[in-house]
Amino acid sequence: MNLAVIGSGGREHAICYKLKQSAKIKKLICIPGNAGTQKIAENIKEDISNFDGLYEIIKKQNIDIVIVGPEQPLVDGIVDYLSKKQVRVFGPDKFTSQLEGSKAFMKNLCKKNNIPTANFGVFNNFDNAYRFIKKNGTPIVVKADGLAGGKGVSVCNSTEEAVKNTKEILDGKFKSSHQVVLEKFLEGEELSYFVIVDKSSYLSFGSAQDHKRVGEGDTGPNTGGMGAYSPAPLLTNKLEEKIKKKIIEPTLKAMKDLGHPYKGFLYAGLMINKGEPYLIEYNIRMGDPECQVLMMRLETDLLEIIDRATKNKINNLKIEWNKKSSITIVLCAKGYPYNYIKDSEIKNLSNVLTDKNNQIFHAGTYEKNNKTYSSGGRVLNITSSSESLTEARNKSLANIDKINWPDGFFRKDIGWRTINNK
């Protein structure tokens, strides 16, 4: 089969890595890809917001299935566009993508369908937002309604901070949104839970824990993710059943009732408080960097899974995972998540020996004259698997030490909650 993966980050590199292992793969292209994907797939440069251009490539390359990695083209309606062109594409349509594209849509869906989530309010007027802040007190969570690359959420510990962040969103700090969602702060531990959906049924697709804050000990501003590990020990069989019954299944039913049954990966960002799950947010694709650790653990042929999902035939599929702990540590460009250094050379990547337990997934890189350079804020995902999470982290840290990139930084404490509790 001929497959196209759309995107240029670590998630897309990890998806290509796993697809490449399939005996069914004939041709694999990545649009536009990065310095990592070009070693295992054919990179084809195109602006992923240019749907006409993407379609011409897909047609020319005789692509059987398109897998859309990032959220923006999904929210913009790429699935609707390609489906009308008779292209088999894996991912949710534009309407369904509001689960991530609009936090207001997601929260109102939860309210209507009794899906457990934090108490909230949606505002496009500052005076009304201010009254909500004063009434509910702090800490309070301030969210931009639209997409913000993981940077549109602030946990505010003072009224002044909440007011400042609310004003910035309403004034258009994030181009995607002039509307703010305010919600009560939930205590607990975060959990990432994944399912794969084929319009009529769904299957669990693993768990992970992400680290959103830029600094050690989960401090500083939110980012797109500084690292992750899988599986999450927090996820017990009992908790998983609660997540399915209280959150996943009501959501899928609600979307079906709205005339837009879900299809694709669905990622629930959850807060676990005293054994009870609360929905923080939905993502309409694989997480990044969670995808990287899940792809290291997945034993079942990913192409087989996606092929069957696009045909609505996953109901009797058994997905197998290895029992190792997998961890990824994100190397970021100095300055991230704000103004960060670009176009700096990354040396000695070949010093890291890659195998089934050690991988470098490229996120923001490009290659020029056989040299690798940084192009983004999150640049490399140093990923390792081992019998224990501590061993996996030590392997990733040792591999980072082999890389020569003075313009990069990383968190040394990924997995700290689990490791420190042992």
CATH topology of domain 189-310: D-amino Acid Aminotransferase; Chain A, domain 1 (3.30.470)
Burial class of residue 321, CB neighbours in 10 A (0-12, 13-18, 19+): middle
Q: Categorize the per-residue pLDDT at 422 as very low, low, confident or very high, splitting at 50, 70 and 90.
A: low
Q: What is the pLDDT of residues 26-67, one digit of tens each?
A: 999 999 999 999 999 999 999 999 999 999 999 999 999 999
Extents of the domains making up the chain:
2-91, 121-184, 189-310, 325-420
C-alpha 333/C-alpha 342 separation (Å) is 7
pLDDT, tens digit, for every residue of 312-362?
999 989 999 999 999 999 999 999 999 999 999 999 999 999 999 999 999
Closest CA to 346 of 1, 115, 35, 17: 35
Structural fold of domain 121-184: Dna Ligase; domain 1 (3.30.1490)
Region 392-412: mean pLDDT is 98
Which is it for the CA torsion 355, 203, 196, 286, positive or negative? negative
> What kind of fold does domain 2-91 have according to CATH?
Rossmann fold (3.40.50)
- Which amino acid does the sequence have at 40? I
- Which of the listed CATH numbers 3.10.310.30, 1.10.287.990, 3.90.600.10, 3.30.70.260 matches domain 325-420? 3.90.600.10
| pTM (predicted TM-score) | 0.94
The per-residue pLDDT for range 196-223, each reduced to its tens digit, is 999 889 999 999 999 999 999 999 988 8
Q: What is the pLDDT of residues 167-188, one digit of tens each?
A: 999 988 887 778 999 999 999 9
Cα Rg, the chain, nearest whole Å: 21
